[in-house]
Amino acid sequence: MPDQLEKILVRLEGVKRNRRGYQACCPAHDDEHPSLSIWENNQGFIVLHCFVGCSRSDILQALYLTEKDISLQNKKEHSESQSFQISPNKKKPFRRKKMDAFEDRTEECLKYQEQLLSSNVAIKYLASRGIDLSFAPSFGVGFAREKDWGGWKWGRITFPHTTPDGKIVNLYGRSIGESHKITSKTERKHFAPGKHMNQSGPKGIFNARVLKEDTVYITEGVFDCLSLIMSGYPNSCAIFGLHGIRWEWFQARKIVLAFDNDKAGEAARDKLREEAILYGKEVSLLDQSVYRACKDLNEVWMKYGRIDIPEKVEQEVYIDTVITQPAESKLNKRQITGEIQSIKQIKTRYGHEMAFITLHSPQGIQKLTVFPKEFRQYKNLLQDREWIIADIKQNARGISVERISKVDSPK
């Protein structure tokens, strides 16, 4: 497999081979049904085609890649026998926008908010999801007509992506309707790929202002978030997919993950939990009793009119060094000796095992991260009550282990 193609595939979810190349979930919109086709043509150019309509630039931006990263020029740059140069007469190479280059979507959001009040279809749909019309405007909920966005005949309910300081930087649109209620096969085929859509550009978070609070509830859907807020949990927010979450916005010390009660929700929850732990957050999960056998919190709200979350929820171990910036090149390396008090093993997104260990040392309790490479090498030494000496390094990503040796316990 070409290196440039592999760079793309490892960043995608739901990758499967097809006759031409590969198919995967598009990272530029919330894709429930894989709609992105990837293949390399005869000239070595990697084609990225989203059947929902996401542009090539949006897809690359969501993957944190540039055209240069996957270009034919980069593919041959180490070749002594070939060279690739761009003619001065041709257009300049694509330049990706900076991830912080947000667009101001305030005007568009206000337009959709005004349209919501005059749309019986939109009002009826919100009511079917248990959302009171008097409650929706305070959270920027709106309505986009067919001609405004996406071409869906019944339009979309819109929700703002925001920043912690309240700026509206993107919009999410949810097509009105449900697949099982659409009788036309043609309409159903058009509905599924574009059911969830975001505008082009970097994503924000729904109700991001709550990220400054000590405890935050995170949902994967805006209707779940609104259901929690109406149930008396105002510190709730919703993310728009797992790609590009801005952890530097999270001032919250405690995070409660309130994802869907299904396999897809569990997989997304586990991935986000791993990231949150690495960023030093105290992570908790909702108890199964909260869902009352429903698929998500919005369904709980619609059926019972309330969501009850016990004070004590399942708690995960966490490291106490918060990541506030990308890892620096200068590392603070040292050795530490102590007794292993506890071990928490998890799997990464790609199935690699890693661990978080609590070490009791003369300097006090130390919480260390053992990444996959070191975990494979020293797994047999990671046992409860085992005395070890560890070479550790500390940088902006926290405290991690480089080398482990067994030592005798002091008498």
Run of H or E including 223: helix 222-230
Domain-located, residue 84: no
Domain holding 398: CATH number? Answer: 2.40.50.140
Domain holding 151: CATH number? Answer: 3.40.1360.10
Same domain, 147 and 233: yes
Dihedral of alpha carbons 85, 88, 91, 92, sign = positive
Which whole number is the average pLDDT over 142-147? 92
Of 51, 37, 91, 88, give the one whose Cα is nearest residue 67. 91
Residue 365 has pLDDT above 90, yes or no: no
For 3-21, write each residue's pLDDT tens digit: 778 788 878 888 888 888 8
Query: Using CA atoms, how far apart are residues 273 and 271, in angstroms rounded to an integer?
Result: 5
Run of H or E including 398: strand 398-406
Query: Using CA atoms, how far apart are residues 11 and 370, in angstroms rounded to an integer?
Result: 23
Number of domains, the chain: 3
Q: What is the pLDDT of residue 263?
A: 86
Token pair for 59: 């897809």
Same domain, 112 and 61: no
Domain-located, residue 124: yes
User: Which among 289, 315, 341 is the end of a domain?
Assistant: 315
Q: What is the pLDDT of residue 394?
A: 66
Same domain, 184 and 158: yes
Q: What is the pLDDT of residue 320?
A: 36
Which whole number is the average pLDDT over 328-334? 51
Same domain, 367 and 274: no
Same domain, 301 and 390: no
Of 158, 211, 193, give the one whose Cα is nearest residue 28. 193
Q: In the chain, what is the greatest distance between 2 CA atoms, to the nearest angstrom?
A: 79
Same domain, 250 and 154: yes
pTM over cut 0.75: no
Q: Strand pairing partners for 362?
A: none
Which domain does 354 fall in, by range?
332-406
Same domain, 253 and 392: no
- In the numeric block, the tokens 């171990």 are attached to 317
User: Which among 287, 315, 343 is the end of a domain?
Assistant: 315
Confidence band of 178 (pLDDT split at 50, 70, 90): confident
Query: Using CA atoms, how far apart are residues 365 and 316, in angstroms rounded to an integer?
Result: 17
Domain-located, residue 156: yes
Q: What is the pLDDT of residue 190?
A: 62
Q: Is the separation of the CB atoms in 42 and 256 below 8 Å?
A: no
Query: Using CA atoms, how far apart are residues 96 and 268, in angstroms rounded to an integer?
Result: 27
Q: Between the ranges 23-32, 85-94, 245-254, where is the mean pLDDT highest?
A: 245-254
| Tally: H helices and E strands in the chain | 10, 19
Domain-located, residue 218: yes
Beta strand 215-219 with 236-239 is parallel
Same domain, 310 and 338: no
Domain-located, residue 228: yes
User: Which among 315, 340, 373 is the end of a domain?
Assistant: 315
Domain-located, residue 395: yes
Percentage of the chain modeled with pLDDT above 90: 30
Same domain, 65 and 128: no
Domain-located, residue 411: no
Domain-located, residue 92: no
For 198-234, write each residue's pLDDT tens digit: 888 888 999 999 999 999 999 999 999 999 999 999 9
Q: What is the pLDDT of residue 158?
A: 96
Q: Between the ranges 113-127, 260-274, 279-293, 366-380, where is the mean pLDDT highest?
A: 113-127
Same domain, 255 and 384: no
Same domain, 262 and 394: no
Same domain, 179 and 279: yes
